[in-house]
Amino acid sequence: MGRVRDCGVMQMHSRFRSDRRLTARMGVTLFLLGLLYVGFVAALIVLLKSWVLVVVVAAALLGAQYWFSDRIALYAMRGRVVEREEYPELHAVIDRLCALADMPVPVVAVSGMDMPNAFATGRNPDHAVVCVTTGLLRRLEPAELEGVLAHELSHVAHKDVAVITVASFLGVIAGLIVRFAFYSQLFGGARRDQNTAAVFAAVMGVAAAVYAISFLLIRALSRYRELAADRAAAQLTGRPSALASALTKVSGDIARIPTKDLRTAQAFNAFYFTPALGREPGIARLFSTHPSLEQRLDQLGRISAELGEAAAPGGM
């Protein structure tokens, strides 16, 4: 990577701006998912007639999701923690942005994937990881990379990384139960009586409903938090055009990657800077974790105009 230019940000952009609408949406989503989770556990207890097993397993999985989400994500995306000596310019950009935003410096990681992307994970700002792929580092100019990293750091600062991690837990568990019930019926149905089969069918139905509801709630929150992160990054760096350029470049390059090579990555779309979608996402776009590229670019264009007006003679 080349040397990153001075960002030239005015004092008015010295921190990530709070987003009350994002905070409200996170609160509502967690409340609704909490109610759904309690109902889900209660239904499983009634159906399986073993509250100890259900509560212990659910608590253990939730704890693992919360405490080890960063390690799980890094492992899944083949990421590794890198020291300052190995990637000095990457560390320098993150250090400067964190100083500008007055936030703790996260652990820095790099994934060897060619797909250009980045993500942030971790349970709070003091235990966060920001990971970029080598494909991203190779393709972006310094100012563009700065915009992407500011976007990811805003997720950490707004604490929506932790919220989306916890929120996604219920859907993951429900999905696993659906698969378990399906394969249990498929391969062991002949050995069960009617009552047992009915219980499994009920568990599968409840889990499927929970998965569908949590899926929709998480998608709605995820799309808004991406717009909030774009806004915060543009305001922090004072360069919405650089972030817009990065979005355009990364989205275009990902669209050219064969869909079969993106399937593994798609499970982590909610965490990515831009989703790992193929050339023709089709109906998947309706349930996307991210707003459309056009929406994101339109918002950045408005912010660019606002910052231009503020910097003009006689502006505020």
What band does 10 get if pLDDT is binned at 50, 70 and 90? very low
Q: Per mean pLDDT, which range of 3-12, 19-28, 51-60, 205-214 is the poorest?
A: 3-12
At residue 14, does pLDDT exceed 70? no
Residue 299: enclosing H or E segment and its boundaries?
A: helix 293-311
Q: What is the pLDDT of residues 47-70, one digit of tens each?
A: 667 777 777 777 777 777 667 777
Q: Per mean pLDDT, which range of 59-68, 213-222, 232-241 is the poorest?
A: 59-68
Q: Point out the catalytic residue in the list 89, 144, 146, 152.
A: 152
At residue 239, does pLDDT exceed 80? yes
13 is in an annotated binding site: no
**How many Cβ atoms from other residues are within 10 Å of residue 208's Cβ?**
16
pLDDT value at residue 271? 81
Percentage of residues in the chain having pLDDT higher than 90: 35
pLDDT value at residue 260? 59
At residue 94, does pLDDT exceed 80? yes
pLDDT value at residue 6? 39
Q: What is the pLDDT of residues 124-164, one digit of tens each?
A: 888 899 999 999 999 999 999 999 999 999 999 998 888 88
**72-74-77-81 Cα dihedral, nearest 10 degrees:** -160
The one-letter amino acid at 83: E
155 is in an annotated binding site: yes
Q: What angle do CA 286, 287, 289 make, to 5 degrees?
A: 120
List the domain boundaries for the chain.
21-188+195-308
pLDDT value at residue 315? 47
pLDDT value at residue 283? 59
Average pLDDT value for residue range 266-281: 72
Asked if 217 contacts 33 with a C-beta cutoff of 8 angstroms, the reply is: yes
Residues in the chain: 316
Q: Which is nearest to 170 in space by CA: 130, 128, 221? A: 221
Known catalytic residue at 83: no
Q: Per mean pLDDT, which range of 55-59, 143-147, 230-234, 247-251 is the poorest?
A: 55-59
Tell whether pTM > 0.85.
no
Asked if 107 contacts 128 with a C-beta cutoff of 8 angstroms, the reply is: yes
CA separation, residue 35 to residues 21, 32, 40, 107, 170 (Å): 21, 5, 8, 34, 11
Asked if 257 contacts 278 with a C-beta cutoff of 8 angstroms, the reply is: yes
